[in-house]
Structure 1
Amino acid sequence: MRTPFLPFSRPTISEDEIAAVADVLRSGWITTGKKSVEFEEKFAARCRAEAAVALSSATGGMHLLLKALGIGPGDEVITPSMTWVSTINLIKLAGATPVFADVDRDSLMVTAETVESKISACTRLIIPVHFAGAALDLDALNLLAQKYGIALVEDAAHAIGTEYRGEPVGTCGTSVFSFHPIKNITTGEGGMICSDNVELIAHIRRLKFHGLGVDAWDRSQQGRSPQAEVLEPGYKYNLTDICATLGLGQLARLDEFNAARTCLAERYHELLAGIDELSPLRRPEEFGYAMRHAWHLFIVRLDTDRAGMSRDDFMARLKEKNIGTGLHFRAAHTQRYYRESMPGVAGTLPNTEWNSDRILSLPLFPDMTEDDQDDVLTAIKEVLK
């Protein structure tokens, strides 16, 4: 058995990035300031987006978007149940109704067909999710949204560096990114909204900082304007310069990180080829449209009948061998609150539910070595044997 424990994810932070954060701590300005502005500008440039707003979390960003789009009681929002539950929680907290579209069995992403089947007269918003580093078929979804006159916001938390038909995710429309420590780049905690809707971006800037008529960092005053007035009630979701400085260092290394992830993912496919109990998700070349995969996660599904054990038991036995795994995700409608408040959903999402019982994420992060991968495969074979 290997030692020490191998986590399923670990951030890659350099000494230069640590030193840059220390410089900010010594500067006397540690909250939202020029570093946050620089991070927004460089992230927008990387995504070829019209504009970007840095936030304290992607969850905060989704909250502000629901507010800015006027989503509330009587509205329906279509999204997958195969996603992190924060989006579903925010829809409920807004007083709206989440409506779950099933996912493709081997990509874990919604399609235009599964979304269209859920559209009603009450549908106000579609939130599809780019999954594990793969890109949704955005052309089909955007055409669908235009056909029905419904807003669309991409959950791009897994898609930093992902490309769709030669363009980075975030170039067009409105997208929300995450910088949680397990993501391809991190700010500790943080998020970013990219959009080509300049009015929406201006609204998000107000909402993120108490509804003030200027940003938390006023470029002309090199500080916060004491004369700023509240234009509408807002929140407190601004990103600090401490976090943004780390983000700048990470963003500069994104290609390096994603190249390492891609090499590991390709090697996983080779190593797992003879293990019938595990099936990975669809590979990039199998989607039918051009896409650059960011390999945020390497997900497999366990054939519980062949393995003779449940997915949870399999993960527990790997942990006993010092191999960490992740679960992305247990379908939101199977969580206790949603089982009780939305009992009619169970049984209506066959691909989602099949995967929810079988998926797990194998270790994948830039500093992981081939020896680490070999340890993962050795443990898998021992557990299955």
Structure 2
Amino acid sequence: MIGIAEPQIGVEEVEAVQGVLRSGILAQGPKVAEFEEAFAGYVGCEHAVAVNSGTAALHCALLAHRIGKGDEVVTTPFSFVASANSVLYTGAKPVFADIEPETFTLDTEKIQEKISSKTRAVLPVHLYGHPAGMKAILELAEDYGLTVIEDACQAHGAEYRGKKVGSLGTGAFSFYPTKNMTTGEGGMLTTDDREVAEKARLLRAHGSKARYLHDVLGYNLRMTDLSAAIGLVQLGKLDSFNACRQKNAEFLSRGFSGLPGIKTPSVKEGCTHVFHQYTVRVEQRNRLAAFLGEEGIGSGVHYPGTIPTQPLYEKLGYGDMLPEAERAAKEVLSLPVHPGVSGTDLEKIVETVTAFFTDK
């Protein structure tokens, strides 16, 4: 089976973990601090705060910007549910704007329609590794006095007009095993705002600056040195991982060119797509997925429903009509593009998809 995801773990990561085990410092320690400094430098921002998941990074980012009960945050309906749940955690309300059909990211023209007197932030998601339209989002934020929280959990190394995502607003990254780089499990908040970074550091460690002194209500969201050691090695490999994903994506798009019934991913001018997922649009999505599975090719539906149609959100009274997001949920299919996919694998994927659309 050609898997839809495959963590790229080598001997360097194993040796890094062994070094931490031998040191005896396993919880948040010097490796976490080293990883934070290295990641901030890579993204191009002043501060990075390591936590134990991408969801925790989003949650801390919102709380660090003092977003809470009575506030509204405009975000996308088409993402993993954590993007919106992080808003609920603070007591604020997620408000959903529709997406662009080409990139699956927030439609910047729809955001303004959702801004109210209660709106405090915009939370775009750089979905599948393609940056959202940040120029328009940042201009709206300036006009209305809003905070921008970038959900970059799928977009490590992606760029918008020459700047890394996560450096344009307050960023949140995930290091889950299927991401472009991993720490096993973990996350990172990125910011140029010292006060936001300091608040996030408080929040991740029970609200404590000093042992047994707790200034605010905090959480246990710390990253371990074991995870950070893996992250340091993976960060050094990230650009090569991304280049491989881009090369694989180019091969697939070229192979599918001219096929009826399939739309390959778009890359907008000024954007660097890092292809966390290589996601096509297919009206016969479920049939194609089944056909691929029979031929030993994994695929994934990210995501089969919009966030407002999740049972939790229906109970909360959401009933938004978001036609582009709803259509995407019926058509998207992700194909293997990770660095573990071989040239032979890519040829098989192209041949199998071609056969599906031509052998009728």
Bigger mean CA deviation after superposition, 96-105 or 327-336: 327-336
Show CA shifts across 1:309-357 (max 9, x none).
Answer: xx23432332232211122223212222223433521xx2111111111
1:44 aligned counterpart, secondary structure: helix
1:266 paired residue among 250, 258, 274: 250
1:293 paired residue among 273, 276, 279: 273
Bigger mean CA deviation after superposition, 24-33 or 61-70: 61-70
Report the TM-score when normalising by structure 2.
0.95
> 2:63 and 2:164 mapped to 1: Cα distance?
26
| Letter matched to residue 237 of structure 1 | L
Alpha-carbon contact 2:277-2:334 (below 8 Å) kept: yes
> 1:57 and 1:171 mapped to 2: Cα distance?
19
Which residue number corresponds to residue 217 of structure 1? Answer: none
1:377 paired residue among 340, 350, 354: 350
Show CA shifts across 1:205-259 (max 9, x none).
Answer: 0000000014xxxxxxxxxxx4x51111110111101000000000001111111
Which residue number corresponds to residue 10 of structure 1? Answer: 6
Alpha-carbon distance, 1:66 to partner: 2.4
2:306 paired residue among 331, 338, 350: 331
2:214 aligned counterpart, secondary structure: coil
1:256 aligns with 2:236: no
1:157 aligns with 2:130: no
> 1:343 and 1:238 mapped to 2: Cα distance?
33
Alpha-carbon contact 1:173-1:197 (below 8 Å) kept: no
Alpha-carbon distance, 1:383 to partner: 4.1
Show CA shifts across 1:40-88 (max 9, x none).
Answer: 0000011111110011001011112222233333221110001110122
1:342 paired residue among 317, 327, 334: 317
> 2:287 and 2:318 mapped to 1: Cα distance?
27
1:110 paired residue among 102, 106, 109: 106
Report the TM-score when normalising by structure 1.
0.89
1:213 aligned counterpart, secondary structure: strand
Alpha-carbon contact 1:111-1:141 (below 8 Å) kept: no
> 1:138 and 1:250 mapped to 2: Cα distance?
27
Q: How many residues align?
A: 357
Alpha-carbon distance, 1:95 to partner: 2.6
> 2:44 and 2:91 mapped to 1: Cα distance?
34
Alpha-carbon contact 2:256-2:354 (below 8 Å) kept: no
Q: Counterparts in 2 of 1:358-377, with a 5 A limit?
A: 358-377=331-350
> 1:257 and 1:72 mapped to 2: Cα distance?
38
Q: Which runs of 5+ in 1 are unaligned?
A: 215-225, 305-310
> 1:135 and 1:231 mapped to 2: Cα distance?
36
> 1:106 and 1:184 mapped to 2: Cα distance?
22
Which residue number corresponds to residue 132 of structure 1? Answer: 128
> 1:245 and 1:265 mapped to 2: Cα distance?
29
2:209 aligned counterpart, secondary structure: coil
Which residue number corresponds to residue 312 of structure 1? Answer: 286
Alpha-carbon distance, 1:20 to partner: 1.3
> 1:260 and 1:276 mapped to 2: Cα distance?
27
> 1:121 and 1:343 mapped to 2: Cα distance?
19
1:201 aligns with 2:197: yes
| Letter matched to residue 55 of structure 2 | T
1:281 paired residue among 243, 256, 265: 265
Bigger mean CA deviation after superposition, 43-52 or 170-179: 170-179
Which residue number corresponds to residue 239 of structure 1? Answer: 223
Bigger mean CA deviation after superposition, 258-267 or 369-378: 369-378
| Letter matched to residue 34 of structure 2 | E
> 2:332 and 2:180 mapped to 1: Cα distance?
20
Alpha-carbon contact 1:103-1:110 (below 8 Å) kept: yes
Alpha-carbon contact 2:100-2:106 (below 8 Å) kept: yes
> 2:180 and 2:312 mapped to 1: Cα distance?
30
Q: Which runs of 5+ in 2 are unaligned?
A: none
1:357 aligned counterpart, secondary structure: helix
> 2:61 and 2:242 mapped to 1: Cα distance?
28
1:80 aligns with 2:76: yes
> 1:259 and 1:62 mapped to 2: Cα distance?
27
> 1:170 and 1:50 mapped to 2: Cα distance?
11
Alpha-carbon distance, 1:114 to partner: 1.1
| Letter matched to residue 136 of structure 1 | A
Alpha-carbon contact 2:278-2:335 (below 8 Å) kept: yes
Which residue number corresponds to residue 65 of structure 1? Answer: 61
Alpha-carbon distance, 1:265 to partner: 0.7
| Letter matched to residue 281 of structure 2 | R
Quote the sequence identity (%). Answer: 37
